[in-house]
Chain A
Amino acid sequence: MLDALLVDSVVRSIQTGSLYALMAIGLTLTFNVVRLPNFAHAELITIGAYAALLVSMGISTNVPVILLAAFIAAALAAVLSHRLVFRPLERKGSSIYTLMLASFAVGMIFRYILFLIVDTYSLFDKRIQVPVEIWIRSTPLILTNLFFWAVPTSIVLVLLLTLLLRGTGLGREMRALAGNFDLARVMGIRVERVKMLTWFLAGGLAGVAGALWALQTSVNPTMGWLVILSVVAATFLGGMTSFVGTIVAAYIVSFSENTLMQLLNYFLGVDFGFKPAIPFIIILAVLLFRPDGIAALFQSIRKR
């Protein structure tokens, strides 16, 4: 009995953790390069999910096509929010707190626009039209095609992003902006262009994550909002600056929410209703005990 529950929860942990990683990477990217804790990231995820849903209903049920559409839709929404809201605010010299509050507002605007559309065309709690197939079944392990889309796609995208950052001129410029914005500007880097591309990439990744998420659950306008806390917990735990830290943290958060929760329930009888509290507890624990997150832990190990 426990075997089956455990295997099932580990599968879910890996699957959700990969998606968290993809979402958290975009958030870390905007935080570092554009210097904005962007809570509207939640709605970029939702927009990706709805783009995926619409494409699957009307155009194609081919998963790569769905993911591409989700990437583009969310990337455009991200660029739009940058151009219409965040860039004008930055030009006025707004503080990071103002920008963060504005990001809540932007998220809310996106969410209610979605509500409006969803209401008009009755798109509540629809499921994506990609049929679920079981690819591997060796009891108690059951892996569906959705697992094989979510996990490798996330890993490949995170790897590609790392390659872009570490191995190309564009990545070097992005790292420079993250390291020291004013200096990057004095060194002749076209900071506006780099920022815009960062928004495009971060938004696109959030969109793909939303689409992959939508493959395994029903789609509704609050789905991004409901996971954003776990994603923020992962970026905090990851230390806000390092990709590797963020990825490890994403899996830790996901394992705590699924496998750890399962164990707590089995052995101590903790109700599953406590699951949403887990990211809160992680955020609090990080702030109290390891404000620099996992990244600092890595550094102290490397220095030794």
Chain B
Amino acid sequence: MNAILTLENVSADLGGMLVINDVSMSIPVGQIVGLIGPNGSGKSTLLNLIGGTLRPLRGSIAFDGREISRLKPDAIFRLGIGRAFQDPALFVNMSVLDNTILPIQGQRGETPWNAPRRHLWVHEEQGNALSAQDALAQVNLDGHTRKLASDLSGGQMKLLEIARSTMGAPRLLLLDEPTAGVAPRLARQIFEQINEMRHTLGLTFLIVEHRLDILFDFADTVYVMHQGGILMHGTPDAVAADRQVREVYIGY
């Protein structure tokens, strides 16, 4: 199967401590890949490495066959890797609509010589507002476009982040605990929407998640992290049945 993202022998340190140790993984196009592991096992750090906010010490990260481990976060985003964070990271003083439009690439009104000439970009802006409206409708937020992002509820902020992460024409989305702090019923709904977006938008997902019951219902492959390394990977059933994984995850 075609891999959209491959990590080979990636290691990284934070303040001199090795937090990612020789990680290799391969994410096939169109899959929902889960990333699980106990707190502090390095899941979010791994997402930071892929997204470019952290640089690896060693190893290679290739997106679509192109090495990205030395690129800046904004360049990586423009290649087609979108992100959503564990604590909703929104522009709280901007409207829901502005938050959603922001990641769209190559907007004509964003260059200084075009910005004062409204006729050059007003149609494009309207088109962007419509596609933002569509993305917001996908997560049932289309009734809140004019609100400030800070006026949304915690669950709605999560949904807004997911809607926004689909706007920059991404092909791979890195989601860090999309259901954290969300009511159980809404959590399942979020994953249903993710699953739908995979089909309608042809997206690939790498999702860090603690709610294993829901994740296992939707994921194609699950990677298990432990102490900065990959413990195992496989189908949700294989992972759930693994004795080692159960030992790491006492109580599950």
Interface positions of A (Cβ within 8 A of B): 164, 167-173, 175-176, 179-180, 182-191, 197, 200
Contact = CB atoms under 8 A, between A and B. Distances in A.
B94 A172 contact: yes
Of the listed residues A168, A176, A185, A189, the one surrounded by the most CB atoms of chain B closer than 10 A to its CB is A168
Interface of B: 51, 53, 72-74, 77-78, 83, 89-94, 98, 101-103, 105, 107-112, 115-116, 118, 121, 125, 164, 168
A186 B74 contact: yes
A183 B74 contact: no
A76 to B, nearest CB: 14
A176 B72 contact: no
B94 A188 contact: no
A180 B90 CA distance: 8
Contacts of B168: 187-188
Contact of A180 (B91, B101, B105, B108): B91
Given A187-B77, A187-B102, A190-B74, A175 B91 contact: yes
A189 B89 contact: no
B109 A168 contact: yes
B125 A188 contact: no
Contacts of A176: 91, 94, 102
7 contacts: A169-B121, A170-B110, A176-B94, A180-B91, A185-B73, A186-B74, A187-B164
Contact of B72 (A172, A173, A185): A185
A170 B89 CA distance: 21
Contact of A169 (B91, B108, B164): B108
Contact of B74 (A170, A180, A188): A188
A179 B125 CA distance: 21
A175 B95 CA distance: 11
A190 B106 CA distance: 10
Given A175-B94, A188-B103, A169 B125 contact: yes
Contacts of A187: 74, 77, 102-103, 164, 168
A32 to B, nearest CB: 11
B53 to A, nearest CB: 7
B102 A172 contact: yes
Nearest to A196: B112
User: Considering residues A169, A184, A185, A197, which has the most beta carbons from chain B within 10 angstroms of its beta carbon?
Assistant: A169
Contacts of B118: 167-168
A189 B102 contact: yes
Given A169-B125, A179-B93, A186-B51, A191 B98 contact: no
B101 A185 contact: no
Contacts of A190: 74
